[in-house]
A and B are shown apart, each in its own frame.
Chain A
Amino acid sequence: MPAQVTNYQCPACGGPLRYAGDTGKLKCEYCGSEYAPGKIEEHYAQHDQAAAQASQEMQDQAAVFPPASPEDEVWDEASHPWNTEEEHLRAYNCPSCGAELICDETTAATSCPYCGNPTIVPGQLSGMLKPDYIIPFRLDKAAAVAALTEHYRGKRLLPRTFSDRNQIEKIQGVYVPFWLYDGQADADVTYDATRSHIHRHGKEEITVTEHFRLRRAGTVGFKRIPVDASSKMPDAHMDAIEPFDYKDLKPFSTGYLPGYLADKYDVSQEECASRADERATNTTMSAIQDSVHGYDTAVPVSRRVHLRRGKVHYALLPVWVLSTRWNGKNFLFTMNGQTGKMIGDLPVSRAKYWAWFAGIFGGLAAAAAAILWLAM
């Protein structure tokens, strides 16, 4: 459980710092100063170390005085326990405005809903929970809104009121936890295959069919098959925004988090592995099938796939999550924060559906009638 939260602030003016995807740096909203994420993380690590040392000294001396307000803007966990039936919630006090901040137990980075200052819960992403990699956001909120508008374009069955109002209830950049699986798949498949030739002899057509037993065995290597490790994120949405460009994978640093929401994983790598296995198996079987050439038919009669898992990496990947509400229903859209790929299911207007159906049917029926009755 995290003991404290950190609010990265500008060393120059004390204003809140946010990660800017376009520059790849932390930027002060007030004075405009920019800092490399690594520098700020290093700066705060030193700060934390000094604070911890001072705290230890104070405890050694007396340990009877109430703790002074920390100068480094470290949030204290709320003095009273958050004791509701929801055991998965945590409460913190905002060091900037003093408001009580209620977070999910998996929250690793968030913003104060009152003063808006970005905040990090380092304990969520340290030690065993520290991600190996992160892909920083490259696209900002404006790009996500623009992509949603573009997503509506060309959707002829979209209700007009849905696109006209375009009320985005919530838009949030989220670093989603993913497991990245390396591994190998060994497959051994046997097929019954046939090849036929047809020739004519007198008044007979003779079909000669040659039957074969084929065996193909081989190995396919996989690297970093992503599976989202957050139960909050729908699997279909996370799958559909693939691929991420792994060239931008960087060693994890909390310096990339300010300004975005981040969650630690809540689905273990063992639980997620079955999805990676399924995808690897399908691709391997497809590759094996492609190696069968020159036959008219090839039917698999036996197959054996053995998966050998390699390294599993823990990574945070950037996703813009947008939600809209229309006719009492929520619609969730997600955009790859690196590539801009936007996905999300849209509502279908029944009126438009049947109008299109009637229009197409009417036009084609008229044309067919003209051809059948007038021309024939």
Chain B
Amino acid sequence: MKRKWICLLLILTALLCLSVPAAAEVKGYVRFDNDDFFTEEELSELNNRAFEIGERYECGVYLVMLEDYTIYTDGDVRDCAELVYTEFEMGWGESHDGVLLLLSMAERDYALIAYGDKGNATFTDYGKDVLSDEFLPYFRYDDWMGGFRAYQEACEDFLRRAEAGEPVDDYGYSDDAYSSEPHEMSNGTKAGITVAGPGLAALGVCQGMKRKMKSARRQTGAGRYVSQGLQLYVNQDLFTHRTETRRVIQTEQRSHSGGGTTVSSSGFSGKTGKF
């Protein structure tokens, strides 16, 4: 408990001291504990853009960049993100709706969390996967601004879709371009399904009816005439050898079943990974 308070104190001190709001009315949407990460112009650009998005959709879009999250918490990178979100009272309105991307540079960890009814409804489990795919390619080449811009653009698009009643969730969105329209089946595919499916079904039914017209068939077995069932006098099962095959589990593979957002008891939803 004592360590936690010390950590909190450290993070508050560090972040409060180092964050540089670009304008008086702009909240601290971007926070960091090393001023080498951003130039003033970059910081201003990101904060202003985050402010615009938040004002328009009433949902905060935050960025936090740390040297090493383990300085601030005993938990994992997500615990750290939740701690920052809570302690800085992030989020929009009474329900503190918002989304936060936290990068920890030491081990190249990231956490993407959402909070509040709107935050969790907008950034679904599937949506977070799609969102990660937007910024991770930039971070992997250390293009921090490119990644942050992509994050903010994607967040705005997610919020726009959620407002239109179509949050980015599971089916209907391609993995590589979430912003595309839901998959539309081409007319050719539809015509193919319309002809082939019913055609095969009709053929199956008609062939079934045709089979019923033939009833004279030779018997192949003599099960009715068994007077003494099988009496086994040899029943051997010998183990000969064992083989083993290994397959690497594809962690990038996404499940497209179910949909929605998994919210923890703390009210946060989120995902973590490496960049």
Contact = CB atoms under 8 A, between A and B. Distances in A.
Given A205-B249, A220-B229, A373-B190, A240 B215 contact: yes
A204 B229 contact: no
A140 B214 CA distance: 24
B228 interface: yes
A230 to B, nearest CB: 15
Contacts of B248: 203-205
Contacts of A232: none
Contacts of B228: 184, 219-221
B201 A157 contact: no
Contacts of B236: 213-216
Which applies to chain A's interface (DSSP): helix, strand, loop or mixed? mixed
B220 interface: yes
B240 A291 contact: no
Contacts, number: 198
B273 interface: no
Interface stretch (B6-14, B36-44, B134-142, B192-200): B192-200
Contact of A372 (B194, B206, B232, B239): B194
Contacts of B209: 155-157, 353, 356
B213 A212 contact: no
Given A220-B228, A222-B227, A215 B234 contact: yes
Contact of A364 (B197, B210, B230): B197
A59 interface: no
Given A157-B209, A158-B213, A360 B202 contact: yes
A286 B220 CA distance: 11
Interface residues of B, number: 54
A345 B234 contact: no
Contacts of B246: 204-207
Contacts of A188: 234
Contacts of A204: 246-249
B213 A157 contact: yes
A206 B245 contact: yes
Contacts of A242: 219, 224
B227 A365 contact: no
Contacts of B247: 204-207
Contact of A360 (B201, B224, B233): B201
B249 A236 contact: no
Interface string B202-213: 110110011011
B213 A155 contact: yes
Contact of B203 (A220, A222, A223, A357): A357
A243 B239 CA distance: 43
B235 interface: yes
A239 B222 CA distance: 11
B216 interface: yes
A188 B232 CA distance: 10
B256 interface: no
Contacts of B197: 364, 368
Nearest to A349: B213
B2 interface: no
A357 B202 CA distance: 5
B273 to A, nearest CB: 14
B266 interface: no
A254 B48 CA distance: 111
Contact of B226 (A217, A220, A240, A345): A220
A218 B234 contact: yes
Contact of A206 (B203, B230, B244): B244
A204 B230 CA distance: 44
Contacts of B234: 188, 215-218
Contact of A239 (B213, B218, B235): B218
B235 A223 contact: no
Given A237-B216, A372-B185, A360 B205 contact: yes
B210 A348 contact: yes
Interface string A184-214: 1000100001000000100111111111111
A364 B206 contact: no
A147 B210 CA distance: 20
Interface string A222-244: 11111000000011110110110
Contacts of A154: 212
Contact of B230 (A287, A343, A362, A365): A287
A104 to B, nearest CB: 23
B241 interface: yes
Given A211-B241, A214-B237, A200 B249 contact: yes
**Closest 9 pairs (CB-CB, A-B):** A221-B228, A364-B198, A217-B234, A223-B227, A279-B222, A360-B202, A361-B202, A218-B232, A287-B230
